Amino acid sequence: MMVDAVATPPRRPGGIKRFIEAYPFLPALIIMLVLLALNGIWQPRSVSLVGITGLIKTYMALMLLAVAQTYVVYAGDIDLSAGAIVSLVNVVIVAVMASLGDSGVSVLAAMAIGLGAGLACGIVNGIVVAAFRLQAIVATFATSIFFTGLALWVMPVAGTPAPATFWRTYGGRILDVPFVFWAAALLAVILYLLARTRHALQLLAVGDDAQGAYQSGLPVTAIRIRGYAMCGVFAALAAFCITGDTASGDPLVGGKMTLYSIAAVVLGGTALAGGYGTVVGSVFGALIIGLINSLVYFVGTPSEWQNLVQGLAILVALVAGILIGRRARA
């Protein structure tokens, strides 16, 4: 399991207590496993290898977007344009691949350009929020409209197919293991390495107490911009997964994902006020949302109640996470 950098409050003795403090994502992990078991009870095939592969294939993008959002939330900021960045990168890489043809080189070039586009969007957000000191929630709402406009300019209407090389890789297998499992493993390694750098710790320090961080000599503005930049890059990775799973460009594909990514962050035990949390928790949070959506259907909820039950279930998961965390900490 990955260990995350957390600005831990002073440690107190006690086994479980210390454990939860060191691994704030544990409640999310427990809830996720419970939901997985419930899914398995109501629809055994949903927890078969095929079912789990499908689950990860579908929600890989949301997991990555939740990670993206977490880096921003660490510093007490928020990014309402994350979904729009996904849309923009999606249409950019599909447009690039369409113009360069179906080959390995064209796919790699498109991904490099896509990462650049995501990074650029993130830096724009960072500058607007941290350097110009606009309120993050409104400023990124505005940039989300701007990025959506750019996406519509690149591709006015959904439709251009992605080359087969791209989505067959995403949906295929390497050495008999589904590609998405490799991607998940790679993500785990990247998150582990990032957690060991000082970036995460600095973001958490800014989120915990921006004034204090500034007074202790941290470049607060630069750190916040870096948080948004990381968010942009991970949003671009999320866009790669969307493109792999949908095999096409759609200028509106990511719009609705933004709020889900924020929900996943909170479900994962990260504080929206900043200063406390883990990226691993957000990954579990994304899976919790996915598993709830499936479970609501598998238990046979009538269609007119599905939205309501889904919302309630997410609330229950949220409360459960808090209760588990509190009992362990008390």
Partner 1 sequence: MKKLTQLGLAGVAAAAISASAAAAADYKIGLSNGWVGSEWRTQMIEEAQAAAAAWTEKGHNVEVVVQSANVDVPGQIAHVRNFINEGVDAIIINPNSPTAFDPVFAQAKEAGILVISTDAEVSSPDALYVGIDQTAWGAAGAEWLAKALDGKGNVVAINGVAGHPANEMRVAGYRSVFEKYPDIKIVNEVNANWDQAQGQQAMQNLLATNPDINGVWVQDGMAAGAWKSIMDAGKAGDIAATGEIRKDFIDLWTAEKLNSGASVNPPGVMASALNVAVFMLEGRELKEPATAGQYKNAMYLPIPFIDSDNLAEAAKQVDGKPGYYSYTSALSIDEAEALFK
Positions touching partner 1 (CB under 8 A) are 30, 34, 38, 42-43, 45-46, 50-51, 54-55, 58-59, 61-62, 83, 152, 156-161, 167, 171, 242, 245-257, 260, 290, 293-304, 306-307, 309-310, 313, 316-317, 319-320, 323-324
By DSSP bridging, strand 177-178 and strand 173-174 are: antiparallel
Beta bridge partners of 174: 177
Look up residue 102 and give its DSSP letter.
S
Nearest approach, Cβ of residue 62 and partner 1 (Å): 6
Sort 192 into a burial class: Cβ within 10 Å, 0-12 / 13-18 / 19+.
middle
Q: Is the Cα torsion angle 272, 278, 282, 287 positive or negative in sign?
A: negative
Q: Residue 59: which of 279, 199, 260, 227 has the closest Cα?
A: 260
Judged by beta carbon, residue 113 or residue 313, the one nearer partner 1 is: 313
Judged by beta carbon, residue 160 or residue 221, the one nearer partner 1 is: 160
Nearest approach, Cβ of residue 135 and partner 1 (Å): 25
- DSSP labels, 150-183: HHHHH-SSS-PBPPHHHHHHHHSEETTEEHHHHH
Nearest approach, Cβ of residue 322 and partner 1 (Å): 9
Judged by beta carbon, residue 15 or residue 302, the one nearer partner 1 is: 302
Nearest approach, Cβ of residue 173 and partner 1 (Å): 14
Judged by beta carbon, residue 146 or residue 192, the one nearer partner 1 is: 146
Nearest approach, Cβ of residue 46 and partner 1 (Å): 5
Judged by beta carbon, residue 220 or residue 288, the one nearer partner 1 is: 288
Nearest approach, Cβ of residue 267 and partner 1 (Å): 14
Nearest approach, Cβ of residue 109 and partner 1 (Å): 22
The owner of tokens 């179906």 is: 102
Judged by beta carbon, residue 92 or residue 128, the one nearer partner 1 is: 92
- Neighbour tally for 106: CB within 10 Å: 19
**What is the end-to-end Cα distance of the chain in Å, rounded?**
24
* CA–CA distances in Å: residue 116 to residues 74, 94, 121, 174, 241: 23, 14, 9, 27, 16
Judged by beta carbon, residue 12 or residue 256, the one nearer partner 1 is: 256
The owner of tokens 């200063």 is: 275
